[in-house]
């Protein structure tokens, strides 16, 4: 029976979430401020109020969690599809054409009348880190219907990214999937809702992927850990154990220049960063790492160590190029 199910698989990875067009503005006038007053806002980027800020460079590219993940998987040689929503506008047409150029199945991307396609405005500082101002647009109207569920059940993996709008209904439907493993990189709205609302889905999650700040936010949403001291919450072993207790089979936490960890309940795997040739843009590095990790589980027969290494390699490659989808590794690179 398992052999028959495997033979019927339509996609290796079906990504669900956002697709956007991204506008990036680079400036070297921001000041990085350490903030010890708030564990959820430990670093702030500040500008002189009322000042005119000089922009050194601009760039137009494509982004969105689901779009980025589907492109990364496709370039690595996997059959990927993107389930997202766009407006009936030129931006939406460009988003779909970009997916098709990257050999992503875009037939599940739907158009929503009366709204604009998603747009992200990125402010990039002199250390190449960034802040994202996001207009969800049509992404807020993404719904999961019966046809979508059929495609979900014909996929090996679902890669679930940030959802908005009626996201609770979308989650409920996605997690009805029985034949696909689910990787989840929850968005701001889901993290803010906390364990009380999304805990039942975490128990059905195959791989939970978050960065350290997101891990802390999710941890303190549980009243058992809300009053834990900052030192405790900043300790990676503690975060991995807390998130694993919420139910996912594997927890992956990325931590910028300090590498990434994965925990399956028995072994704490650590992957140091791969040194990039040059640092140009960190936009989409989380999507690059997460989707490459899941792609690695497929390519390397569930070998977590190899999957982490692939995630680190692809992140280093992406950082050396402008935009979230440029510079990603291809099957030939492997």
Query: Stretch 279-292: mean pLDDT, rounded?
Result: 82
The C-alpha atoms of residue 271 and residue 254 are separated, in whole angstroms, by 9
pLDDT of residue 251: 98
* Cβ-proximal residues to 1 (8 Å cutoff; 6+ apart), any chain: none
The C-alpha atoms of residue 108 and residue 286 are separated, in whole angstroms, by 23
pLDDT of residue 174: 96
Where is pLDDT greater, at 281 or 318?
Answer: 318
Distances (CA, A) of 215 to 97, 314, 315: 34, 22, 19
Reported as a pLDDT band with limits 50, 70 and 90, residue 7 is very low
Kindly state which CATH superfamily the domain 2-319 is placed in: Ribokinase (3.40.1190.20)
Query: Stretch 96-119: mean pLDDT, rounded?
Result: 96
- Residue 114 clears pLDDT 70, i.e. is over it: yes
pLDDT of residue 280: 67
The answer to whether the beta carbons of residues 161 and 214 sit under 8 Å apart is: no
The C-alpha atoms of residue 119 and residue 116 are separated, in whole angstroms, by 8
Query: Stretch 208-225: mean pLDDT, rounded?
Result: 96
- Residue 130 clears pLDDT 80, i.e. is over it: no
The C-alpha atoms of residue 6 and residue 257 are separated, in whole angstroms, by 38
The C-alpha atoms of residue 293 and residue 299 are separated, in whole angstroms, by 10
- Residue 176 clears pLDDT 90, i.e. is over it: yes
Three-state SS string over the chain comes to CHHHHHHCCCEEEEEECCCEEEEEEECCCCEEEECCCCCCCCEEEECCCCCCCCCCEEEEEEECHHHHHHHHHHHCCCCEEEECEEECCHHHHHHHHHHHHCCCECCCCEEECCCCCEEEEEEECCCCCEEEEEECHHHHHCCCCHHHHHHHHCEEEEEECCCCCCHHHHHHHHCCCCCCEEEECCCHHHHHHCHHHHHHHHCCCCEEEEEHHHHHHHHHCCCCCCCCCHHHHCCHHHHHHHHHHCCCCEEEEECHHHCEEEECCCCEEEECCCCCCCCCCCCCHHHHHHHHHHHHHHHCCCCHHHHHHHHHHHHHHHHCCCCCCCCCCCCCCC
How do beta strands 260-263 and 268-271 pair?
Answer: antiparallel
Q: How do the domains of the chain map onto residue ranges?
A: 2-319
- Residue 43 clears pLDDT 60, i.e. is over it: yes
The answer to whether the beta carbons of residues 324 and 68 sit under 8 Å apart is: yes
The C-alpha atoms of residue 10 and residue 71 are separated, in whole angstroms, by 17
pLDDT of residue 281: 62
Residue in 288, 276, 244 with CA at minimum distance from that of residue 73 = 288
The answer to whether the beta carbons of residues 24 and 283 sit under 8 Å apart is: yes
Query: pLDDT digits over 68-104, tens only?
Result: 999 999 999 999 999 999 999 999 999 999 999 999 9
Query: pLDDT digits over 243-282, tens only?
Result: 999 999 999 999 999 999 999 999 999 999 998 777 766 7
Query: pLDDT digits over 138-151, tens only?
Result: 999 999 999 999 99
- Residue 315 clears pLDDT 90, i.e. is over it: yes
The answer to whether the beta carbons of residues 26 and 279 sit under 8 Å apart is: no
The answer to whether the beta carbons of residues 139 and 18 sit under 8 Å apart is: yes
Beta bridge partners of 210: 253
Reported as a pLDDT band with limits 50, 70 and 90, residue 321 is confident
Reported as a pLDDT band with limits 50, 70 and 90, residue 322 is confident
Mean pLDDT of the chain: 91
- Residue 2 clears pLDDT 50, i.e. is over it: no
Full-model pTM: 0.87
- Residue 127 clears pLDDT 80, i.e. is over it: no
Q: pLDDT over 70 for what percent of the chain?
A: 95
Where is pLDDT greater, at 294 or 26?
Answer: 294
- Residue 291 clears pLDDT 80, i.e. is over it: yes
Lowest-pLDDT range of 126-140, 213-227, 274-288: 274-288
């Amino acid at each position: 029976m398992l052999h028959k199910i495997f033979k019927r698989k339509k996609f290796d990875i079906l990504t669900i979430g956002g697709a956007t067009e991204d506008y990036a503005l680079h400036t070297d006038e921001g000041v990085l401020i350490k903030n010890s007053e708030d564990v959820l806002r430990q670093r702030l980027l500040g500008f002189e109020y009322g000042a005119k800020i000089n922009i050194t460079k601009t760039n137009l590219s494509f982004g969105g969690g689901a779009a980025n993940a589907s492109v990364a998987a496709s370039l690595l040689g996997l059959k990927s599809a993107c389930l997202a929503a766009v407006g009936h506008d030129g931006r939406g047409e460009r988003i779909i054409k970009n997916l098709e150029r990257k050999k992503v199945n875009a037939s599940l991307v739907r158009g929503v009348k009366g709204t604009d396609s998603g747009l992200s405005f990125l402010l990039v500082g002199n250390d190449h880190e960034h802040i994202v101002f996001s207009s969800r647009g049509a992404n807020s109207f993404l719904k999961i219907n019966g046809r979508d569920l059929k495609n979900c059940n014909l996929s090996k993996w679902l890669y679930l990214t940030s959802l908005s709008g009626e996201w609770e209904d979308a989650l409920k439907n996605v997690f009805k999937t029985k034949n696909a493993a689910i990787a989840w990189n929850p968005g701001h709205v889901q993290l803010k809702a906390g364990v009380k609302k999304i805990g039942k889905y975490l128990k059905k999650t195959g791989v939970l992927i978050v960065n350290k700040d997101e891990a802390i936010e999710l941890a303190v949403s549980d009243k058992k850990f809300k009053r834990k001291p900052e030192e405790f919450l900043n300790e990676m072993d503690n975060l991995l154990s807390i998130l694993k207790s919420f139910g996912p089979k594997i927890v992956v936490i990325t931590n910028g220049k300090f590498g990434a960890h994965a925990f399956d309940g028995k072994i704490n795997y650590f992957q140091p960063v791969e040194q990039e040739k040059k640092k140009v843009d960190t936009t989409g590095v989380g999507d690059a790492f997460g989707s490459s990790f899941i792609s690695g589980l497929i390519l390397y027969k569930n070998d977590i160590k190899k999957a982490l290494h692939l995630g680190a390699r692809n992140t280093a490659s992406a950082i050396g190029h402008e935009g979230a989808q440029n510079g990603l590794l291809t099957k030939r690179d492997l």
